[in-house]
Structure 1
Amino acid sequence: MLKAAKLGLVGILIVVLLAACGSNSTSDGSTNKSTEKITLTIWNNWSGQDAKAVAMRKILEDFQAENPNITLEIEALATDGLKTRLRTAAAADEMPDLFVMWPGAMTKEFVQGDLLQPINEFLDQNAEWKNNFIENALVDFTVEDNIYSVPMNLAPSSLLYYNEDLFKQYNVKVPTTWDELLQAVDTFNANNIIPIALGNKANWVAQSTTFSTIGDRVTGTEWFLKAVDQNGASFTDPEFIEALKLYQELGEAKAYQEGFNSIDENQMLQLYTQGKAAMVINGGWAVAGLVNTASEEILNATNITILPTVDGGKGAAKTTAGVVGTGLGVNKKLSGAKKDAAMKLFYALAGPDGQKATLESSTLISYNLELDPSKANPLFIKLTELMKETKIVPVYDSKLSSAAVEAINNGLQELLLGGDPEDIAKRIQAAQAGAVN
């Protein structure tokens, strides 16, 4: 009888333990409560000293401390280095467990390469989080009804930062038209001030921060999307060549400092923060860097606007190129406890707390959270107000194929040094046509 009672007690304990194991879901959508030792690799572009990078590194540190059974192997690279590394890893099918990736073209290419797994089920388990993203925020991470990531920021890529003190000192009007921009360039050159700082060593900078918006100003968004699809438009069309010629005018006017193709984005910002340049064209992400590295004098003198209009252009005026923001890709090969651990980290970085940390790091987000002006840097408040009245149009490298992106990035480096616009247009067209066909 006693033996039977003991066996019954053991059976009850087993049932209780099994029930406990079966009900270990958490508020973060993760089901990982295991003490199993797990190693996760994560590649990111949070390598700098900007406020966004600092905030994300803090989340990674806290996650590691709170989850001693999960070891994070973190690799942080500059944006251009990360993009190159990811494409190399993709070609070899050796992707890390989690990685920062870009919406649009990169997401689609990785899905086509069978490298990503969708996160629909995870999002549905956390519906309040899923439904709090801004309208259309998930579109460029969606392929054939499967969602592969969520945006961790909002990235207008083409904004004009300018030093109001220098503009007042030399009696220069803040440019709202192309002619006014060229006049400003002439005046600053005449006074030995760099008109616009540019760091195009990583050749995406000119395309993403400047030409994508100029191209849209001239051709309009509808034409560009047709050219991307190679359906009713070609990059050898007159309007695109006109856009290239217009951008070339900045090179001919010496809008940029000498050697602009030999310095990077960080060095570009340094020219501005040192007071050597009157303007710099960069994305909304630049604010997070400026608030952490610029002097109080430069910060107080800095204002933000959009690029000037183009007379006769087909594009809308109050627009800037950009994307909803980078996301985290999840390796297709993950399963079981390792996948659970990866999704727990995903939620820590991209969930509500991660979105809040990003907003508080002077970085725009694609998530519905109110900014607290009492905690925000004045420059970030200016950016927030500007984006309330500015529409985002596609940045070229979010829509074009990898081959066409390489063609346009290399072509713009040549263009600013006197390259032939028509020849550059032919190369871009050939690359995109080859990819589509």
Structure 2
Amino acid sequence: MKKSFVVTMAAALSLSLLAGCGAGGADNASGGAAPKADAGKAGEKVKLSIWHNYTGEDLRAKTMRSLIDQYKKDHPNVELDVQGIPPDGYRPRLKTVAAANEMPDLFVMWPGVMTKEFVSGDLLQPINELLDSKQEWKNNFMPGSFDDFTIDGKTYSAPMALSPTSILFYNKEIFNKYNVQPPKTWDDMMKLVDTFKKNNVTPIALGNKAAWVAQSSILSSLADRVTGTDWFLKAVEQNGAKFTDPEFVQSLTYLQQLGKAGAFQDGFNSIDNTQMEQMFAQGKAAMMIDGGWALTNLAANASKEALANMAVTVLPSMPNGKGDPNTLAGVVGTGLGMSKKVAGAQKQAAYDLIYALSGPEAQKAILDGNNLVSYKAELDTTKASPIFAEVYKMMGTVKRTPVYDGKLSSSAADVVNNGLQELLMGGKPEDIAKKIQDAAAKAVGK
């Protein structure tokens, strides 16, 4: 999780002319096992199910659905049962079928904790055979791309995106109107909140209905700046750090300061992140703290004028912080997991679909849809919105730090999410820190 974007993006840019959109054409390079013929093209009937969360009208969702449709056309003998589940309800549905050991054949899943939990539940099978059969594709991913999908040397998915979670978006017109600059320090941020409040402008749009936004997009970066990454990783393992430590309580206190100062609009716990993005795009807030996924939503729904008026930066540094302020919390994006039960011709059909959705052509299509990828592909600036191009450039200048729900157990992450809702409604930081600590300790058996 501590791999540097500086390294990965520099590699991407320096190799982009060589990699291009045809990077994976020579599938059998470097001595990998020869891939089998595509299932579904040789006449054998195969049934395959896939669950995804690409139900929206953003460019990435449309891109992924079109790739699935193309797979259907290319594999007429594969009977594909596709279920699209809206993002906010997707994880709970997936956890429900996982608990019952009734997983679909393929499903969009997250790196880190979800992968670990599914592997420990004996629900997944690795895709090393597929990766090794297509060495040039495998080797064109950025360094560290497979780390959070790999356990004990076995890799369970290939990432289909790159997700920084804590980008600070700001409205240049509003900032110019009040003659202010993006915040470099926490004091700058609080002064900005005060300036915008005095002028009846919502300082920061927030859509925390699903509870993960405050955690993933705000706290993960804010707390890292206060505690440093090493402290957080120790606290996750409950080895030399606890969430009741003063530095974490201070992190919660800083977040609550924003709430008490009126940084967020009324009803922030009753709208979702898509509504938050719409609010920001419509000029109803001066700032928004959101992830890379916002870029494809904004490209699909915001006007050209609105997009041209957006700019980005990182969250400000924190007083006496132990963490590097030139960072973004983030993870490699989701990938397709494959059920342990998939076998025979069905397995080859599943491999073909994984490759169709995460191979070189798919990675280029995803990038062209204004979504960051952890694959070495050249950005076509004619297809990129100005704000996407700016974020793409920024990725080459910052390091990546962990996202809380990418490292904590799902049960502990839920406690964080619910605790932050409570915190922003006036709950005591010490009490919420105790709940998080109890959940984290329980998760690791301490």
2:211 is aligned, of 203, 225, 243, to 203
The answer to whether 1:147 aligns with 2:152 is: no
The residue matched to 2:395 in structure 1 has which SS? helix
Within 2, Cα distance between the matches of 1:26 and 1:282? 42
The residue matched to 2:330 in structure 1 has which SS? strand
**1:370 maps to which residue?**
378
**1:339 maps to which residue?**
347
Q: For 1:378-437, what per-residue CA distance to the aligned partner results, in whole angstroms no more than 9, with x for missing partners?
A: 211101111100111000000001111011000000001110111111111111111101
**1:425 maps to which residue?**
433
The answer to whether 1:187 aligns with 2:188 is: no
Within 2, Cα distance between the matches of 1:28 and 1:290? 40
Name structure 1 gaps, 5 residues minimum.
1-24
1:328 is aligned, of 322, 336, 342, to 336
Asked if the contact 1:28/1:344 (under 8 Å) is kept, the reply is no
The residue matched to 2:383 in structure 1 has which SS? coil
**1:216 maps to which residue?**
224
TM-score by length of 1: 0.92
Matched pairs, number: 413
Asked if the contact 1:319/1:393 (under 8 Å) is kept, the reply is yes
The CA deviation at 1:30 is: 4.2
Within 1, Cα distance between the matches of 2:80 and 2:175? 48
The CA deviation at 1:29 is: 7.3
**1:241 maps to which residue?**
249
**2:14 maps to which residue?**
none
**2:26 maps to which residue?**
none
Which shifted more, 33-42 or 412-421? 33-42
Asked if the contact 2:231/2:241 (under 8 Å) is kept, the reply is yes
Q: For 1:247-280, what per-residue CA distance to the aligned partner results, in whole angstroms no more than 9, with x for missing partners?
A: 1101001111111111111111111122111111
Within 2, Cα distance between the matches of 1:54 and 1:28? 29
Q: Which amino acid aligns with 1:109?
A: E
Q: What does 1:55-74 align with in structure 2 at a 5 Å threshold?
A: 55-74=63-82
Asked if the contact 2:39/2:75 (under 8 Å) is kept, the reply is no
Q: Point out 4+ residue stretches in structure 1 off by more than 3 angstroms.
A: 25-34
2:171 is aligned, of 130, 150, 163, to 163
Which shifted more, 207-216 or 171-180? 171-180
Within 1, Cα distance between the matches of 2:404 and 2:298? 25
Q: For 1:93-151, what per-residue CA distance to the aligned partner results, in whole angstroms no more than 9, with x for missing partners?
A: 11111111110010000000000000111111111111111011101000111100111
Asked if the contact 2:141/2:374 (under 8 Å) is kept, the reply is yes
2:133 is aligned, of 92, 102, 125, to 125
Within 1, Cα distance between the matches of 2:277 and 2:366? 21
Within 1, Cα distance between the matches of 2:57 and 2:40? 32
Name structure 2 gaps, 5 residues minimum.
1-32
Q: Which amino acid aligns with 1:341?
A: A
**2:387 maps to which residue?**
379
The CA deviation at 1:26 is: 8.4
The residue matched to 2:168 in structure 1 has which SS? strand
Within 1, Cα distance between the matches of 2:42 and 2:412? 46
Q: For 1:143-163, what per-residue CA distance to the aligned partner results, in whole angstroms no more than 9, with x for missing partners?
A: 111100111111000001111
Within 2, Cα distance between the matches of 1:295 and 1:29? 45
Within 2, Cα distance between the matches of 1:231 and 1:122? 37
The alignment-based identity, stated in percent, is: 55
User: Which of the two has higher C-alpha Rg?
Assistant: 1
The CA deviation at 1:44 is: 1.2
The CA deviation at 1:360 is: 0.6
**2:320 maps to which residue?**
312
Q: Which amino acid aligns with 2:50?
A: I
Within 1, Cα distance between the matches of 2:87 and 2:434? 28
Within 1, Cα distance between the matches of 2:201 and 2:36? 51
Q: CA distance change for structure 1 residues 77 and 317 in 2, over 3 Å: closer, same or farther?
A: same
The CA deviation at 1:31 is: 5.3
Asked if the contact 1:42/1:72 (under 8 Å) is kept, the reply is yes
The CA deviation at 1:78 is: 2.9
Asked if the contact 1:29/1:126 (under 8 Å) is kept, the reply is no
Within 1, Cα distance between the matches of 2:178 and 2:204? 15
Q: CA distance change for structure 1 residues 421 and 217 in 2, over 3 Å: closer, same or farther?
A: same
Within 1, Cα distance between the matches of 2:277 and 2:37? 39
Within 1, Cα distance between the matches of 2:186 and 2:327? 15
Within 2, Cα distance between the matches of 1:239 and 1:433? 18
